[in-house]
Structure 1
Amino acid sequence: MRERNLRLPALLAAALLLASSFLPAFALDGYDYTYTYNYDFWGELRESPDVYRVESVINYRDIGLDSPMKTPQSLFVRGSELYVCDTGNNRILQLRRKGAGFTLVRVIDEVKGAEPSSFNAPYDIFVDDEGWMYVCDQNNNRIVKMDAEANYVMSFVKPTDETFTQTLAFLPAKLVVDVAGRVFALCKNVNKGLMKYEADGTFTGFIGASEARFNWYDYIWKLLSTKEQRAQQQNFVPTEYENICLDPEGFIFATIAIFEEGDITSTKPIRRINSIGSDILIRNAEEIPMGDLDWDSASEINGPSRLVDVTVFDNGIYVALDRVRGRLFGYDKQGHMLWAFGGPGGSDGYFKRPTSLERMGYDLLVLDQQECSITVFTPTEYGSLIYSATEQYLQGAYDESAETWRRVLARNGNYDLAYIGIGRALLREDQYREAMHCFEVARDRKNYGEALRLYRKEWVEENAGWIFPLILALLVGPLLIGGIRKMRAEVNGR
């Protein structure tokens, strides 16, 4: 009997060990959380089905290069073409998508007709619809414009404007170009916002300057300090942007990765900037888009996410890349987190130093500077359902959108956004009471309040036929009764 009792725990332990070997890696590597997850209303982490899978990992051999990339800094996609800034090798690689991989189209290592003609640390590239190429040629202190054959067209250089501190070197790091040919650039050590150039190269100032960091403790201390102590203190300075991209509507998405941990909410690490420099990003979720909501100071990697790049889909969903833990975070147009996945490491789908993020359709491409590789992610069936539900809603197919969200919910019962998606579709179909239930389950107070308001309005309109007569009777009835009683009293008094 005792032998059988001892054998049972051993069998249970063996069964648990065997079962655990089939589970996905999750919170087991010393880096908090590793693959696909989301957060619920309470900020608690919830595991999720994978939204993306690794389709391929591209290195220099896969594209036919003789030597590896060196400290690559940036990716850019135009159609089926992928441009890679191979910064340490002073060249740009133009690749073309072919199935799950890429083929090398050409190596661009000179600007024909320019002086100097060679690149010196090309940090970023933008290619417009007409094929004009713009490159942040950082150590040559210029943004160079070329035609499709890499012939020199013009340069955007350090402005002589008094708004630009002349003692600073002109070190362009990131850029976008709008449909009018205007260039918006980020430069190292410049914290006044985005530098704006007209198509003819004229510098017209800065837009989107970030607010200065302010701390009441530092301010009061500064008031009480001596002149010598104040001289040693850091001034309140605006935060520098980390990266920028152009969304399908022509607005500029920007990320901020340098901030004090306590300032993350006020810093707003992801912004959407309009033509006058205002941040118009919608933030209707309980938490602002900022990457991980919780980080463990006791883990090997601590502190908030540092979002180094962002890309935007045609349906308004945007994805941000975290340099600290090698994760990607997807958000809908309202600012709700759709999913998060990735992690630090050298395995496929993990990163050592991610620096750039791009998209091809719904595929995501991540550049790892340390590994000198490009990881291509493609959506799973679950991920495709999320995108389909979003697109159907935007196209006005509300019934189809609600049904697709139900299919998402069948695969992930913890997914609050599926309830919100169903509720929003029902709201559009004037099914207010049913929408209220969905929003209540998801604890979406804003949408619940809107559904409740519309439900009350509809109820009043449907019941107006008897409500108003009843109100009239309640108001007039006591007057009539009072009048009758008064008349009786007068008659009886006679």
Structure 2
Amino acid sequence: MVKLASAAAPYESYLFNFWGERVPAPQAYFPSLLVDGQALGVGALRRPQDLAVGPDQKVFIADSGNNRIIRLSAELELELEITTFINNGSDDTFRNPSGIAVSDIGEVYIADTDNARIVVLDADGNLLRIIGQPESSDRALIKDDYIYRPLKIEVDPLGRVYVIAANVYEGIFQFDKEGKFLGFIGAPRVTPSAVDVFWMRLASDEQRAQLQLFLPIEYANFGINEDGMLYAVLRDTAADGNEEIVKLLNPAGKDIMRRVSQLPIIGDVEITGSSFIAQSSFVDVLGRKNGVFSVLDGAKGRVFTYDRNGDLLYVFGGIGDVLGRFRNPVALAELDGNRLVVLDNRGITVFEPTAYTQAIHQAIDFYDRGYYFDAAEVWQDVLNQNPGFEIAYNWIATTALLEQDYDKAMRFYQLGQNRTGYSDAFSAHRQKFVGDNIAWIMTGVFAVFIFLFIGPKLKLGKRFSKFIGLADNPKALAELSAQMESMPENSIPHAVKREYSFRKLVDSLLYSLHVIFHPFDGFWDLKHEKRGTTAAANTLLVMTVLAYVFMRQYTAFTFNTLDVTEVNLFVDATSILVPFLLWVGVNWAFTTLMEGKGTLKEIFIMSAYALTPVIILNIPSTAVSHFLIEGEGSLLTLVRVISVAWTVMLLLIGTMTLHEYTMGKTIITAILIICGIAAALFVGLLFTSVVDHVSRFIITILTEINYRL
């Protein structure tokens, strides 16, 4: 028996933020005790596979390699070693007992794997009954050649028995309290990918038969929660965010697990693009109070605990030989509703909760019992210990929403990265604001209506243009042009040149509005009437970059999942400029070979003018996004899709007009340009990779030379 010598935990504690990044957290549990076979006086454990805690807090261990069951007291002291039991007047033994469960009335159920049976004993090791191999008249359920090998077992409050057996893909065996086989529940779902469906349609009958041999994943383990429903984990699953590794099965076998968290319930995660890849392999699951459940990661020796929404509450544990780490952890249980125990090859490790963990469970319990304000106070205490705990912010925000404190709810939902909750709070806030200010709002709407009605009659637009100097811009531009043409180049005053350049830029920019609504005439005039300038094209390109940055930085929280603190202006600008310049360069390269009439400068100007919809639609829509709720997000998406589609259409029309192509030739050219851009990007990435490797090699050589000198 080993006890912890210091208050330090030999592992790190962490959580994952909204973006799947690991962030440090206070320790949730400290290891306090390791109980091994030598300390118990029964010799070393051999491949123990399961443990269970009875209603009287007695602990039962399935010591599989030694073919025995060990019973410990609530104080984890040896009470009984069961190696044999009386069966029909003679001694009987276990063969590789792999699973164990204790019912609410203290009956001990043992999955006697190699004997192909379930043995039911009382707490003192006396045989009550044996549940043999399941039998069914339906041969589709149980085949004649099936070899029954029960691995894990659970009993619900009504006495129904659930068994996970080897090489069973139909789900979990279900028996009634008399041991009669009732059928399977919770068959793991097989969802073929689009690629699988495609090849299935192309395959021959023989190939299709082979493809159909892919089977569902087996269950690894399960546990009964306080409501009598099964938490179950799948075996050896490397999942992405779409696969359900942990299930909550109701008595009908339907998965009713709530999965509202941003991150899937997969333990340690690795982000690949927009997917979350599991790095954990769950071997046991423990249903706890208030919908909380813990899962044991056999690969990394960690215990992950989640709330009923699938939000991660805390993590502890690891692989190793010191107290608090494990060698091949296999089972997880809870003692006295407070401590957690983990079984591995050495024995049982006991973990004591910290004040931080107790506060988390207290807050959840308060909320479930309807003490919302008490729960909020406890969650605030949790935040004082861990300011980065996003879930705590969400719980406090929910309470504020119940109090109709919408500003506080929005603020805390934002801190908790809960966009749905934020939208709900904003919806209530918006409704209240409209109700409180309906008179002013209607007055404003009426004023706008009047302005739109009488504005054209009073020629307010023209008057405003004249006021800011735009109404007479064409006339002033013509006069300046005539004045400059009548003077020698070196005698034109700089003030005249500056005014002409400015007015020409304004005129060219305003012409972009004509181009996007009359693209055929507009692009023709850009080329032949010189209505576009390089300065205006550069300005539009810069404005597009700024619009993109503005959209990424300032889209309303409800619709913006980016970490704005990590947004890089250079990267954002590059993501616009590089594709644009590649389009221009590859366009010129291909159209030169395909009898195109446009020059490189004209292609640049045309392409920049085609970006105008991105500017005029995305900047206002980004501002408007702050007045929308989540259910209205489709409007924002629609506007952004229109801006992209409009730009693509303008690029096609501009290419066709500029190079004097037919529509068919334009489409072929556009496809070639896209392929050329892809090839250029590939070559660029390859070149970058080669330069990186060469530079690393040179640095290594120089470092080695430096050491030798």
Q: TM-score, normalised by structure 2?
A: 0.57
Q: Distance in 2 between matches of 1:183 and 1:244?
A: 12
**Cα gap change, 1:440 to 1:130, in 2 (>3 Å):** same
Aligned residue for 2:250? 274
1:429: how far off?
Answer: 2.8
1:132: how far off?
Answer: 1.6
Could you tell me whether the CA contact under 8 Å between 1:393 and 1:401 is conserved in 2?
yes
1:278: how far off?
Answer: 0.8
Q: Distance in 2 between matches of 1:453 and 1:185?
A: 48
Aligned residue for 1:96? 73
Q: Distance in 2 between matches of 1:135 and 1:458?
A: 60
1:257: how far off?
Answer: 2.7
Could you tell me whether the CA contact under 8 Å between 1:43 and 1:293 is conserved in 2?
yes
1:325 equivalent to 2:296? Answer: no
Could you tell me whether the CA contact under 8 Å between 1:295 and 1:303 is conserved in 2?
no
1:413 to 387, 393, 396: 387
Could you tell me whether the CA contact under 8 Å between 1:113 and 1:151 is conserved in 2?
no
1:355 equivalent to 2:333? Answer: no
Q: Distance in 1 between matches of 2:382 and 2:12?
A: 18
Could you tell me whether the CA contact under 8 Å between 1:213 and 1:237 is conserved in 2?
no
Q: What residue identity is the alignment partner of 2:74?
A: R
Aligned residue for 2:116? 141
1:467 equivalent to 2:467? Answer: no
1:229: how far off?
Answer: 5.5
Higher relative contact order (CA 8 A, sep 6+): 1
1:449: how far off?
Answer: 2.1
**Cα gap change, 1:143 to 1:264, in 2 (>3 Å):** farther
**Cα gap change, 1:451 to 1:112, in 2 (>3 Å):** farther
Greater helix proportion: 2
Q: Distance in 2 between matches of 1:469 and 1:268?
A: 51
Deviations 1:205-232 (A, max 9, x none): 1011011252333444455456666666
Q: What residue identity is the alignment partner of 2:157?
A: V
Q: Distance in 2 between matches of 1:159 and 1:129?
A: 24
Aligned residue for 1:125? 100
Q: Distance in 2 between matches of 1:144 and 1:274?
A: 25
**Cα gap change, 1:145 to 1:216, in 2 (>3 Å):** same
2:177 to 193, 199, 207: 199
Aligned residue for 1:182? 160
Aligned residue for 2:282? 307
**Cα gap change, 1:469 to 1:431, in 2 (>3 Å):** closer
1:364 equivalent to 2:335? Answer: no
1:303: how far off?
Answer: 6.3
**Cα gap change, 1:57 to 1:224, in 2 (>3 Å):** same
Could you tell me whether the CA contact under 8 Å between 1:313 and 1:362 is conserved in 2?
no
Alignment of 1:43-54 (within 5 A): 43-54=20-31
1:402 equivalent to 2:380? Answer: no
Aligned residue for 1:37? 14
Aligned residue for 1:105? 79
Aligned residue for 1:12? none
Local SS of the residue matching 1:400:
helix
Could you tell me whether the CA contact under 8 Å between 2:266 and 2:278 is conserved in 1?
no
1:382: how far off?
Answer: 1.5
1:84: how far off?
Answer: 0.5
1:110: how far off?
Answer: 2.1
When Rg is computed on C-alpha atoms for both structures, the one with the higher figure is 2
Q: Distance in 1 between matches of 2:366 and 2:37?
A: 39
Could you tell me whether the CA contact under 8 Å between 1:398 and 1:426 is conserved in 2?
no
**Cα gap change, 1:469 to 1:458, in 2 (>3 Å):** closer
**Cα gap change, 1:119 to 1:374, in 2 (>3 Å):** same
Q: Distance in 2 between matches of 1:36 and 1:295?
A: 19
Sequence identity, in percent?
32
Alignment of 1:178-257 (within 5 A): 178-225=156-203, 235-257=213-235
**Cα gap change, 1:295 to 1:173, in 2 (>3 Å):** farther
Q: Distance in 1 between matches of 2:269 and 2:180?
A: 42
Q: Distance in 1 between matches of 2:433 and 2:85?
A: 69
Aligned residue for 1:82? 59
Could you tell me whether the CA contact under 8 Å between 2:50 and 2:62 is conserved in 1?
yes
How many residue pairs are counted as aligned between the two chains? Answer: 436
Specify every segment of 5 or more residues in structure 1 that has no aligned partner in the other structure, as ranges: 1-23, 27-33, 297-301, 480-494
Q: Distance in 2 between matches of 1:474 and 1:221?
A: 58
Could you tell me whether the CA contact under 8 Å between 2:268 and 2:278 is conserved in 1?
no
**Cα gap change, 1:25 to 1:111, in 2 (>3 Å):** closer
Q: Distance in 1 between matches of 2:402 and 2:287?
A: 25
Q: Distance in 1 between matches of 2:407 and 2:444?
A: 30
1:149: how far off?
Answer: 3.3
1:155 equivalent to 2:130? Answer: yes
**Farther-moved stretch of structure 1 (230-239 vs 246-255):** 230-239
1:151: how far off?
Answer: 2.5
Q: Distance in 1 between matches of 2:271 and 2:212?
A: 27
1:58: how far off?
Answer: 1.1
Local SS of the residue matching 2:291:
coil
Q: Distance in 2 between matches of 1:186 and 1:428?
A: 43
**Cα gap change, 1:323 to 1:472, in 2 (>3 Å):** same
Local SS of the residue matching 2:85:
coil
Local SS of the residue matching 1:83:
strand
Deviations 1:378-418 (A, max 9, x none): 11122112122212222222222222222211222221122
**Cα gap change, 1:474 to 1:227, in 2 (>3 Å):** closer
**Cα gap change, 1:467 to 1:232, in 2 (>3 Å):** closer
Q: Distance in 1 between matches of 2:321 and 2:440?
A: 75
Q: What residue identity is the alignment partner of 1:90?
A: N
Q: What residue identity is the alignment partner of 1:250?
A: G
Deviations 1:6-44 (A, max 9, x none): xxxxxxxxxxxxxxxxxx899xxxxxxx52101111111
1:57 equivalent to 2:34? Answer: yes
Could you tell me whether the CA contact under 8 Å between 1:243 and 1:255 is conserved in 2?
yes
Greater strand proportion: 1
Could you tell me whether the CA contact under 8 Å between 1:319 and 1:329 is conserved in 2?
yes
Aligned residue for 1:30? none
1:340 to 315, 322, 327: 315
1:426 equivalent to 2:400? Answer: yes
Deviations 1:37-64 (A, max 9, x none): 0111111110111111011111113223
Q: What residue identity is the alignment partner of 1:292?
A: D
